Structure 1
Amino acid sequence: MPHADIDKIAEETGFSGVVSIDRAGQVEFAQAYGLANRTYRVPNTVGTRFGIASGSKGFTALAVLSLVQDGLITLDTTARSLLGDDLPLIADDVTVEHLLTHTSGIGDYLDEEGDFSVTDYLIGAAHELTTTEAFLPLLDGHPAKFRAGERFAYCNGGFVVLALLAERASGAGYHDLVRERVLRPAGMTGTDFLRSDELPADAAVGYLPLEGVDRSNVFHLPVLATGDGGIHTTAADMSAFWRALYAGQIVTSPEEAVRPRRDVPEEGMRYGRGFWLHASSDAAILVGYDAGASFKSSHDPGTGVTRTVLSNTSPGAWPLARALEI
């Protein structure tokens, strides 16, 4: 796609964020648009850190798979064996594999099949959600939707449960597990879990899609991200991530994450373990959408091409992602 066309789409849509295209680590295009902070008129740069919402489910999956690799947990480990009496509505036969592939059937605290707006206040006291264990009251009380393994149904709560299981199996906190088992081996030095109420100067504030109002997402998301999404990253770090993943630097068998496990025809894609997959090519995809955040990044291991769009608005990434065929 000609670079001038990217600029045109960004201008026409009022895009705020970063677009990056590279091939085998060589940058072919990288451009920032819009403002990281509207109040103080701080522009986005190519090094700005953006929240990526559910895009970080892939990081959760890899942290879990690295624990499987080290023998601390198995794909057949049941959630109940580590939850004990917590979350009694999760069926006894739900396994790590079910949770990784969105086939667990458990009820979801943030059910995307429900009728709600991205501007709704959905999680209650956002400031209390600083640890994975703090999510237990939110995860509780949701009846199962179907029997484990019966079908695919995207489940945010399932990835919080995965974070809980990873913590209890390893004895380490979820945030440290991701830092040590994913971010560090991938060389993702600009990526981390940032509190929404104390963002550093190089992080973009997320803005709600409210006409004429510059309202941030600080009350809409957990103050500190956990297993189902919300880490902050950069375009360069996403490129480093994909290269490290396929080089076997995060887990020794990356195909364990990116081999298709389920067809998801309603999305026009397939699903692996924590990763969306192109319907017909080998490209792997991470996607995130939430209040004040939209993100899509894909990597084709055959061509070595990585395409990433990060935005600090809810709808911002999609026109450019479609144009770039991410």
Structure 2
Amino acid sequence: MGSVRGIGRRRLLAWGGLTAAAAPLAGTRLGHAEPGKGRIPPDTRPGGVFDRYVAELAAQGGFSGVILLSHRGRTVLSRAYGMADKERGVRNHEGTAFNLSSAGKPFGAVAILQLVQQGKVLLSDTVGTYLTGFAKEIAEQVTVHHLLSGASGLDNPEVDVQRVFQSREEVRAYCEAWARRARQVAAPGTPTDHAGAEVAIPAMIVEAVSGMTYWDYVEENIFRRAGMTGSAFYTRPRWLTDEHIAHPYMRLADGSLVDAVRNLDLSSPDPWTPGKNPGRDFIDPPGDGGFTTAPDLVRFAHALRDGTLLERPYADVLTAPRTPLGPAPGGLASSVTTSFGAYHLPVHITGGQWVYDRAGANPGIAAGWSIYPDTDWVGVMLSNADGLPLGEILQRQEQAIVGPWNS
């Protein structure tokens, strides 16, 4: 996780990434009102309040990346600012792929539910049903449901943030060994604080059941199926050479920004990610991250809605409200009081409608996507530089879409 002004990264992501809500992505529930459906709020249009806010932020050096607002599959607002690769003079554009960090975690939940839909996995099964090498209490008591809903009672083993990985195989082996070091620190069903093992273990289950690596499974069964042609789990060599992938610009202690993937010897001083550099990972850990474009995230949202990725009952399971959450941290969407944890994403009610979204941050990386199923809006924010006010951007995006004209 990286520099996010105004909000503690771990607290933001533990809360769920951003604001959120719970209703079936596959469609609006029977009898549920559809506030403002079909209207284009003025603040979402080019030249509107949100557009002007981001443009001013970018002009002040506070934003590098892409924003996109889509309604019923049609782009209402799309803007790109800053450089994808300063060294080669490549600018960010709508087709630039950005790293998602924790905003990619819901792909793992979708993968598990696809296997549930096929009858190959049961949400009530314990970890030991599919995997070996875990402590007895984890193998016999922690279920797939506990892991996906963020209520496993597991802790986070320490991560070697200085290690520079050199292959997919090395990353996979390290992550499996790391997950097996997780300890049971509370009873299953106890909400946890962004426990990484809850993401790594389901990815291991996907691999054990499908016979594919997690990366290959998601690319084939989610990205390709949804038409997300600009999305993949790129390796560091590809990150270095492909001009369509944004480089992460990490802020150092002296205030300067450096290309993290070209400077593996440098580290983030941020207190939430001390010593970290995302370029050291040869590929994102199974269950986490991935690279995608803003239009591809819109495609992902609609592929959930129309049954391409999951049949409707299983899409409902993905976004069903589970653990009640408190108000957003740091004043983010502070008017939201009805929010819940769902499967690897939070869900909430705002302005009389549901919203689901997920955010992620790492040094030089910030990402957030929001789905408004009742009014068929999708909002995307992808960035490749430290220092942006992530929470404020996401809050203003939500205000533009769910303003008083939709109540």
- TM-score, length-normalised on structure 2? 0.73
The CA deviation at 1:34 is 0.5
CA contact (8 A) 1:61 1:273 kept: yes
- Return the alpha-carbon distance in structure 2 between the equivalents of residues 110 and 212 of structure 1: 28
- 2:166 pairs with one of 100, 124, 127: 127
- 2:129 pairs with one of 74, 81, 85: 81
- Return the alpha-carbon distance in structure 1 between the equivalents of residues 201 and 244 of structure 2: 31
- Return the alpha-carbon distance in structure 2 between the equivalents of residues 13 and 276 of structure 1: 30
- Return the alpha-carbon distance in structure 1 between the equivalents of residues 327 and 382 of structure 2: 24
The CA deviation at 1:325 is 2.4
Which has the higher mean CA deviation after the structures are superposed, 33-42 or 95-104? 33-42
The CA deviation at 1:282 is 1.4
CA contact (8 A) 1:132 1:226 kept: yes
Q: In structure 2, the residue corresponding to 1:283 is in which secondary structure?
A: strand
Partner of 2:94: 46
One-letter amino acid of the counterpart of residue 5, structure 1: Y
The CA deviation at 1:245 is 0.6
Task: Determine if the alignment matches structure 1 residue 149 to structure 2 residue 216.
Answer: no
One-letter amino acid of the counterpart of residue 216, structure 1: A
Task: Determine if the alignment matches structure 1 residue 6 to structure 2 residue 17.
Answer: no
The CA deviation at 1:180 is 2.2
- Return the alpha-carbon distance in structure 1 between the equivalents of residues 251 and 158 of structure 2: 19
- Return the alpha-carbon distance in structure 1 between the equivalents of residues 184 and 167 of structure 2: 26
Task: Determine if the alignment matches structure 1 residue 264 to structure 2 residue 264.
Answer: no
CA contact (8 A) 1:59 1:178 kept: yes
Change beyond 3 A, Cα 1:157–1:292: farther
- 1:292 pairs with one of 352, 357, 364: 364
The CA deviation at 1:171 is 1.6
The CA deviation at 1:156 is 1.8
One-letter amino acid of the counterpart of residue 33, structure 1: Y
Partner of 2:344: 274
Greater relative contact order (CA < 8 Å, ≥ 6 in sequence): 2
The CA deviation at 1:309 is 0.4
Change beyond 3 A, Cα 1:157–1:125: farther
- Return the alpha-carbon distance in structure 1 between the equivalents of residues 346 and 212 of structure 2: 27
- Return the alpha-carbon distance in structure 2 between the equivalents of residues 317 and 72 of structure 1: 42
After TM superposition, list the pairs within 5 Å mapping 1:7-46 onto structure 2: 7-46=55-94
One-letter amino acid of the counterpart of residue 227, structure 1: P
Partner of 2:202: 162
Q: In structure 1, the residue corresponding to 2:113 is in which secondary structure?
A: helix
- Return the alpha-carbon distance in structure 1 between the equivalents of residues 387 and 316 of structure 2: 31
Q: Deviations over 1:166-194 (max 9, x none)?
A: 11122222112112221122111110000
One-letter amino acid of the counterpart of residue 204, structure 1: A
Partner of 1:242: 301
The CA deviation at 1:304 is 0.9
The CA deviation at 1:302 is 1.1
- Return the alpha-carbon distance in structure 2 between the equivalents of residues 324 and 90 of structure 1: 40
- Return the alpha-carbon distance in structure 2 between the equivalents of residues 128 and 88 of structure 1: 31
One-letter amino acid of the counterpart of residue 66, structure 1: Q
- Return the alpha-carbon distance in structure 1 between the equivalents of residues 383 and 322 of structure 2: 29
Q: In structure 1, the residue corresponding to 2:236 is in which secondary structure?
A: coil
Change beyond 3 A, Cα 1:148–1:315: farther
After TM superposition, list the pairs within 5 Å mapping 1:181-260 onto structure 2: 181-199=221-239, 200-210=242-252, 211-217=255-261, 219=264, 220-221=277-278, 222-253=281-312, 254-260=315-321
Which has the higher mean CA deviation after the structures are superposed, 212-221 or 276-285? 212-221
Q: Which runs of 5+ in 1 are unaligned?
A: 112-120
Which has the higher mean CA deviation after the structures are superposed, 23-32 or 148-157? 148-157
One-letter amino acid of the counterpart of residue 358, structure 2: L
Q: Deviations over 1:90-121 (max 9, x none)?
A: 3521011011011111121369xxxxxxxxx7
The CA deviation at 1:11 is 1.9
- Return the alpha-carbon distance in structure 2 between the equivalents of residues 183 and 192 of structure 1: 7
- Return the alpha-carbon distance in structure 2 between the equivalents of residues 110 and 160 of structure 1: 14
Percent of aligned positions with the same letter in both sequences? 25
Q: Which runs of 5+ in 2 are unaligned?
A: 1-42, 265-276, 329-335, 400-407
- Return the alpha-carbon distance in structure 2 between the equivalents of residues 302 and 179 of structure 1: 28
Change beyond 3 A, Cα 1:161–1:274: same
Change beyond 3 A, Cα 1:123–1:79: farther
Higher CA-based Rg: 2
Which has the higher mean CA deviation after the structures are superposed, 196-205 or 132-141? 132-141
The CA RMSD over aligned residues, in Å, is 2.2
One-letter amino acid of the counterpart of residue 256, structure 2: G
Q: Deviations over 1:20-77 (max 9, x none)?
A: 0110111111111011112223211111000010111111100110000001111012
One-letter amino acid of the counterpart of residue 298, structure 2: S
- Return the alpha-carbon distance in structure 1 between the equivalents of residues 109 and 130 of structure 2: 17
Q: Deviations over 1:164-221 (max 9, x none)?
A: 0111122222112112221122111110000123222200011212222414157423
CA contact (8 A) 2:200 2:287 kept: yes
Q: Deviations over 1:111-148 (max 9, x none)?
A: 9xxxxxxxxx7263433555534312322434222111
Change beyond 3 A, Cα 1:169–1:289: same
After TM superposition, list the pairs within 5 Å mapping 1:108-127 onto structure 2: 108-109=156-157, 122=161, 124-127=163-166
- TM-score, length-normalised on structure 1? 0.89
